[in-house]
Amino acid sequence: MGGGIASLASAVYLIQDGHVPGKNIYILEESDKMGGSLDSIGSSETGYIARGGRMFSDEVHNCTYNLFSLIPLSENSPKTLLNDFIDFNKEAKVNAGARLIEGGKIIDSSNFGVSMEDGLNMIKIMSLPESFLDNTKISGHFSPSFFKTNFWNLFCTTFAFQPWHSVVEFKRYILRFIQELPRMNTMTGVRNTRYNQYDSVIVPITNWLKNNNVNFLMESRVSSLEFTKDDNKERVEKIVYLQQNRKDEFSLGKNDLVFLTNGSMTTNSTFGSMKSAPVIKTSAPHDSWALWKDISRNRPYFGNPLVFNGQIDKSKWESFSVTFKNRVFANLMEDFSKNKSGTGGITTFKDSNWLLSVVTPPQPHFINQAGDINVFELNRLF
């Protein structure tokens, strides 16, 4: 359930490692397009939109790289996604020359500016069990000056953190990406896909699954799951869904497997325009969060979705996809940062009230992008 990268990866491994015939696999997606949060839309004429992009790291994304190694670049290509990914990152190596901007000038962000006291606080957080940190904010563990340091500005704009976020989540990111800390100012550990991740990842994986006879049920919204008990264990016995407002269902046996995307960070995202800002949409009656809320009722072992979506004002973010019909902005950014598009990582304006950051990805960023068109991304932390 859900057409994002989690469902697609699950289907690939069910076929490759589980030896499940593709014709026995069904993916239900509410929209008319696969990809979930890795989608993208647009054209050179109307402009492009991508709801964010992901940066990869050799030390962290081993499982993702393995997935890439299983998928051909195209139907008749001897190259895999991983082959193309490696080749591209040899061509476009990231080494940010303008990671932090202050007062309109590039500053030396290699000096993190963290005090001895806050350095010790960091070690303490890394060392303590999560149970000692539960239900506390990052801001409760550091001095106010910590949140003005280069380290915090680098870290929070790379991983989208705010001082009021969970210190447990902060700890997990520090430990998971600890190898990135010495190079956050240059982002030399970052790896990128050749195009946006819909074109570079979602499309070829979806095509491979279709060639392996996987069933795609588009515009199919799962409305409820019905459970039964077997040997004192609960299992799903029925999936009820609406396909273009027509009700249908799957009856499941003991040996059937159900994979559910329980909530999505872009389920309730909204779009703005050149004339209006996007409207905050705090809930929807039939989104993936509602389904998770429904199945977790009286079943605490399914977790609590409100932990993740219960405070919209403290977890929202905004991004801008900007399409230019010429290279003027790209040339100015390249002259300013001394980075060719795609090699500069993130440029953050430290004295911006929004912590506004610019990402100039490799061009073309979309597979159907005309040669004179340039696309870049702006990210805003509230």
Structure token pair of residue 93: 């190596």
Query: What's this model's pTM, rounded to 2 decimal places?
Result: 0.93
d(CA 1, CA 184): 36
Contacts of 293 (CB under 8 A, 6+ apart): 305, 306
- Listed by start position, the domains of the chain span 5-92+193-313, 113-184
Question: CA-CA distances (angstroms) from residue 66 to 69, 81, 180, 210, 344?
Answer: 5, 10, 21, 20, 26
Q: What is the mean pLDDT of residues 146-171?
A: 95
Which superfamily does 5-92+193-313 belong to?
FAD/NAD(P)-binding domain (3.50.50.60)
Handedness of CA 160, 163, 169, 171 (dihedral sign): positive
Pair 58, 191: CB distance under 8 Å: yes
Beta strands 100-102 and 346-349, pairing class: parallel
Q: Among 95, 100, 125, which Cα is nearest to 111's? A: 100
Q: What is the mean pLDDT of residues 69-80?
A: 93
Q: What is the mean pLDDT of residues 50-61?
A: 87
pLDDT of residue 329: 93
Q: Among 316, 274, 297, which Cα is nearest to 47's? A: 274
The residue whose two tokens read 């597979």 is 367
Q: What is the mean pLDDT of residues 302-326?
A: 87
Q: How confident is the model at residue 286 (pLDDT cuts 50, 70, 90)?
A: low
pLDDT of residue 120: 97
pLDDT, tens only, 242-262: 998 899 999 999 999 999 988
d(CA 314, CA 206): 34
| b (16+ CB within 10 A) / e for 250-270 | bebeeeeeeebbbbbeebbbe
pLDDT of residue 123: 97
Dihedral of CA atoms 254, 256, 257, 263 in degrees, nearest 10, equals -90
Q: How confident is the model at residue 381 (pLDDT cuts 50, 70, 90)?
A: low
Say if residue 304's pLDDT is above 80.
yes
Q: How confident is the model at residue 21 (pLDDT cuts 50, 70, 90)?
A: very high
| b (16+ CB within 10 A) / e for 329-343 | ebeebbebbebebbb
Q: When comparing pLDDT for 50 and 56, which is higher? A: 56
Say if residue 382's pLDDT is above 60.
no
pLDDT, tens only, 84-143: 999 999 999 999 999 999 999 999 999 999 999 999 999 999 999 999 998 899 999 999
Q: How confident is the model at residue 310 (pLDDT cuts 50, 70, 90)?
A: confident
d(CA 108, CA 105): 10
